[in-house]
Amino acid sequence: MRDCENIRESIGSWLDGELSAAESESVRSHLASCTDCGEAQRRLERMHLALKAALTSQAPQIEFTSFWRGVERRINEKRTWYEDLLDGSRRLFTAPRVAWMVPAVIGLLLVLISMDFVPFRGSRNSFASVESIDAYGRSVALLRQPETRTTVIWLYQDQEGENETAEDPAKSAPTF
Amino acid sequence: MRLLKTLRNRLRLFSLILVLVAGWVGAAEKNPQSVQVRIRTILAGSKSDEFDPKLKDMERQLKPLKYRSYRSLKDDTQSVPWQGTGSFDIPGGRSLTVAPQEFQNNRVSLKVRLTEGAKPELDTTVGIQNKGNFILGGPPHEGGTLVLSISATAQ
């Protein structure tokens, strides 16, 4: 079933001679043995023939002179830089390239994140969080330096012999 | 037709690569084997204006402490397994033990105990950014004050 689906997708390319020798052989042998796919091939061939007949009968009546004049004019005209840029970006974002680029960019981002290069992952110097603290009766001040985002735990002896946790570290810890 | 088939095959290949890369990234994030703990012991004082060049990278963290001199006394690094304990000798007969607790959201939680001889001076549990540090200071030593920089890097 899966084979038939793949082969039917390839019939058009096979008829147009776009497949490699091995692929052509694979399609040809499948078509020889599969009735449904053979029918699909015949339908496509009939459509090709009908199109070819229509084109052959109508082509001599088509006025190509103005068309070729337009082609010649476009070949000879000087292109501006932004037209080149536009064409370049169009080529860059064609489907096959995007198919490669999108996953490649995602992969690159994942690698950068894993290597800690990405700024949004958090600053290395963000404040430490103190979950618990016991200074065994000594006074302790907890300070945060906003400039360097450093957390400082400061142990000190109360000058007046008081035994309390500092509410105002700058006042209670004389060295700050 | 052929183009669509090619695109589909390429997308399949890349999906597979992405799954593998994401798995690798996830594994690196969730399963650090140990923590590299670095303890830098600094003697801060006000008798001179000496600033030890070894502490250049910490200058911005130390200057707000408002001492005049800073001298590096020790710089120890140990690789400590999760739930294990690393012990560091601190000048003045003190000892610092560091026990990594958990690693979550790129932060390392450390249980830290400072003792002077057998007498405990401080018990604390601190969560720091991976590769970050915090400062523990205050104990007097040789006419100055000890300042410890405790940093951790999950490995």
Q: What is the pLDDT of residue A94?
A: 73
Residue predicted with more confidence, A129 or A158? A129
pLDDT beyond 70 at A108: yes
B38: tokens are: 């670095």
Q: Does residue B121 sit in helix, strand or coil?
A: strand
Q: What is the pLDDT of residue B4?
A: 64
Q: How buried is B149 (Cβ within 10 angstroms: 0-12 exposed, 13-18 middle, 19+ buried)?
A: buried
- For A35-61, letters b (16+ CB in 10 Å) and e give eebeebbeeeeeeeeeeeeeeeeeeee
Rounded to whole angstroms, how far apart are CA atoms B90 and B113?
12
What is the per-residue pLDDT across B35-73, written as a single tens digit (0 to 9) for each? 999 999 999 999 889 999 999 999 989 988 889 999 999
pLDDT beyond 60 at A159: no
- Which of A12, A126, A155 minimises the CB distance to B132? A126
As a whole number of Å, the CA-based R_g of chain B is 22
User: Is A145 close to B61, i.e. CB distance below 8 A?
Assistant: yes
pLDDT beyond 90 at A87: no
pLDDT beyond 60 at B28: no
Average pLDDT over every residue of A25-33: 92
Asked if B97 contacts B112 with a C-beta cutoff of 8 angstroms, the reply is yes
What is the per-residue pLDDT across B120-142, written as a single tens digit (0 to 9) for each? 999 999 999 999 999 999 899 98
A-contacting residues of B 42-61, CB under 8 Å?
Answer: 44, 60-61
CA angle A86, A89, A90 (to 5 degrees): 85
* Closest residue in chain A to residue B11, using alpha carbons only: A99
- β-pairing, A139-145 with B34-45? unpaired
A36: tokens are: 């449904």
B19: tokens are: 């799954």
What is the per-residue pLDDT across A112-141, written as a single tens digit (0 to 9) for each? 776 655 555 544 447 888 989 998 888 888
Per-residue pLDDT band at A173 (split at 50, 70, 90): low
Q: What is the pLDDT of residue A112?
A: 79
ipTM (interface pTM):
0.81
pLDDT beyond 80 at A174: no
Say whether pTM exceeds 0.90: no
B-contacting residues of A 6-65, CB under 8 Å?
Answer: 6, 9-10, 12-13, 18
Asked if B106 contacts A122 with a C-beta cutoff of 8 angstroms, the reply is yes
Q: What is the pLDDT of residue B29?
A: 56
Q: What is the pLDDT of residue A171?
A: 37
pLDDT beyond 70 at A70: yes
| B99 contact partners, CB below 8 Å, separation of at least 6 | B80, B83, B84, B85, B86, B110, B111, B112
Mean pLDDT, chain A, integer: 79
A-contacting residues of B 17-36, CB under 8 Å?
Answer: 17-18, 21-22, 24-25, 28-29
Rounded to whole angstroms, how far apart are CA atoms A39 and A24?
17
Chain B residues close to A176, C-beta within 8 Å: 64-66
